[in-house]
Amino acid sequence: MTVLEERPSTRRQEDTGRVGAGVFRPKQLWASMPDALRKLNPRHQLKNPVMFVVWTGSLLTTVFAITDPSVFTILITVWLWFTVFFANLAEAVAEGRGKAQAETLRRTKKETVARRLAEDGSEERVPGVDLRVGDLVVVEAGQVIPGDGDVTEGIATVDESAITGESAPVIRESGGDRSAVTGGTTVLSDRIVVRIGTRPGESFVDRMIALVEGASRQKTPNEIALTILLATLTIIFLLAVVALQPMAAYSGREQSVVVLSALVVCLIPTTIGALLSAIGIAGMDRLVQRNVLATSGRAVEAAGDVSTLLLDKTGTITFGNRRATELIPVGSSTVDDLAGAARLSSLADGTPEGRSIVELTAAEYGLPPVADDSETAAEFVPFTAQTRMSGVELGDRAVRKGAASAVREWVRDRGGEVPEETGRVVEEISQQGGTPLVVAEAADGKAFVRGVIRLSDVVKPGMRERFGELREMGIKTVMVTGDNPLTARAIARDAGVDDFLAEAKPEDKMALIRKEQEGGRLVAMTGDGTNDAPALAQSDVGVAMNTGTMAAKEAGTMVDLDSNPTKLIEIVEIGKQLLITRGALTTFSVANDLAKYFAILPAMFTGIYAQLGALNVMALATPRSAILSAVIFNALIIVALIPLALRGVRYRPSSASALLRRNLLVYGLGGIVSPFLGIWVIDLIVRHLPGIG
């Protein structure tokens, strides 16, 4: 079972549509143009106040382009419509990538005929769409699981490649934390009985399709707040432009509606207004690329604001299976005597610990990893909760390994003595976070202790560095384990976590989460069992494993299809990247407007107030060329920033103050400099057009 779960797998990227999913391709612009045109519908534009103002201005200038046509009016009208179209294009490209993934997922949905069990135990064949919550269905080798649910009887290998992209089969069995199955996956062996847990149309695949298509995406609180801010700025600038017209009329230079419309569009934050929706959709898309299903954009955003991370020790921080790392002889025994006895007692031991002992004796002491002819006759004595030890019987020789107290009693029952140093070694290993296994041998009527095996729960490589990065981000890490405090403290020290919770029970996890949340902090955690469901529901970001129970999946805000607990760290980084991208492009957009002031305002009033000519720092040719150049740049910069909005600003672990400085330097300064250069270059071209220069 363990081999099947842990074997290396091959990601079938060509089947899942995720090849280069994070890479932007120019042809995506072309493919998304029909959707962008459909989004010109005023009902869609009303959802974005900034772009609705641009849409209204485009409509007004269109009327004047028809009733009083001129080259200037027509060009302004065309580029205002391009501005609206490019904003729609950014959103359409982001949605298009999700729709491609949704189409791949939709192909995995198969209309199945389910074998539903009646109350008397008989089977009836019904369409999969007729199944209801609580129905029991039988699925055998070669059949498709008709709906999401939990295995209530049996054990089977399941092919989940259609959902997760992993070609390696996984094991699903009743009565554990690996009981959940997903509709659309295929049973490869054996027979299982599944209790259906979802209604038709609400399955895992259905929810994932809705997510990646963007149909279920709702604006997050921060996104709503930013939209309100942008709408407020738009109203302020709109009123400011309206107030300019009486001043211009009083000075004898009344401005046309076309010029005023261009001024409004260039002054309001159109860049971030156009890209805001695409940034949110792309954040969800990046999660899907990593095989994580989020129930909403709110969960992704919350991940970026997380300040406390709860991580299970086993399988997340450590490898999970204890491994033999050292042999310590006691008494008159040598390390070779101990190695021989430890190997012999473990040859038939199929547990991960037993296999690691054989591997250690082979690697460090050159002993053969398989039994020879004389050892094949040995009788294996399995571990039980009563004896708390295992071993072998080979002729008149007996070898045991196990808990110190159990082995001591076994030795003394056979008239042997236990060296005093045995207790000291056992205590030392325990205090250092290891697990001691005492090895003893009986032969020729004598029993004696050979030594102690140190089993260590090995911390995964690189975890200390990862936790160091999280610390730089201001995130507190807490290791949660059922181990005793001594062992937990040692592993926490080796891993580099900030705190730990030992001998943790479900209610302890809940209490810890609530305590952290009382200080206004957001908490993230992972889990896979039914007993994790309350804590997953209480946490702000609860990541349930796909291998876990349906209760855990329903309680969490995200589901990791790869069932990799360490992915929680990646999820936090994706959330922070979303927030950083939104902040960076907002900074760029606001700074961007500054250069447009120098382009349009002097052009409008230089004829009245000659002193404003000093503000024409770009040496733009004429008022019309200046206004047209600013409008063209305003449209083109949206297209130029689409790849960045979809890919996201590169995230580097650092403090909030460092991120702010970087944003101001790169995107603030860049937002000021780029329009000056861009508008100047465009002016060099448009000044030669008839009616403009």
Active site residues: 312
Could you tell me which residues are annotated as the binding site for Mg(2+)?
Answer: 528, 532
Could you tell me which residues are annotated as the binding site?
Answer: 349, 353, 383-390, 401, 528, 532
Amino acid, single-letter form, for residue 496: G
- Asked whether the beta carbons of 237 and 49 are under 8 A apart, the reply is no
Question: Tokens representing 578?
Answer: 């979303």
Cα separation, 450 vs 338, in Å, equals: 5
* Angstrom distances, CA of residue 172 to CA of 138, 194, 565: 14, 10, 18
- Asked whether the beta carbons of 590 and 273 are under 8 A apart, the reply is no
Those residues with Cβ within 8 angstroms of residue 145's Cβ, 6 or more apart along the chain or in another chain: 112, 139, 158, 181, 182, 183, 184, 185, 186, 187, 194
**3-state helix, strand and coil shares in percent for the chain, rounded to the nearest 5:** 55, 15, 30
β-pairing verdict for 149-159 and 170-173 = antiparallel
Q: Is 330 exposed, middle or buried (0-12, 13-18, 19+ CB in 10 A)?
A: buried
**In the chain, how long is the greatest CA-to-CA distance?**
120
Those residues with Cβ within 8 angstroms of residue 69's Cβ, 6 or more apart along the chain or in another chain: none
Cα separation, 255 vs 662, in Å, equals: 40
- Cα 342–chain centre separation: 43
Cα separation, 655 vs 653, in Å, equals: 7
φ, ψ of residue 419 to 5 degrees: the values are -60, 145
3-state secondary structure 401-462: EECHHHHHHHHHHCCCECCHHHHHHHHHHHHCCCEEEEEEEEECCEEEEEEEEEEECCECCC
Q: Tell me the HSE value of 77 on the side-chain side, using a 13 A CA sphere.
A: 17
User: Angle at Cα 256 formed by Cα 254 and Cα 261, nearest 5°?
Assistant: 125
DSSP state for residue 651 in the 8-state scheme: P
Strand partners, 139: 192
DSSP state for residue 320 in the 8-state scheme: S
Strand partners, 117: 123
* Angstrom distances, CA of residue 216 to CA of 89, 213, 281, 297: 20, 8, 11, 9
Cα separation, 341 vs 336, in Å, equals: 9
- Asked whether the beta carbons of 499 and 310 are under 8 A apart, the reply is no
Of 399, 455, 449, 452, which is closest to residue 424 (Cα–Cα)? 452
- Asked whether the beta carbons of 241 and 601 are under 8 A apart, the reply is no
Question: Tokens representing 561?
Answer: 């299809």
Could you tell me which residues are annotated as the binding site for ATP?
Answer: 349, 353, 383-390, 401
Question: Tokens representing 452?
Answer: 């102690």
Q: Tell me the HSE value of 669 on the side-chain side, using a 13 A CA sphere.
A: 7
Of 228, 266, 263, 227, which is closest to residue 242 (Cα–Cα)? 263
How many residues does this entry show for the chain? 693
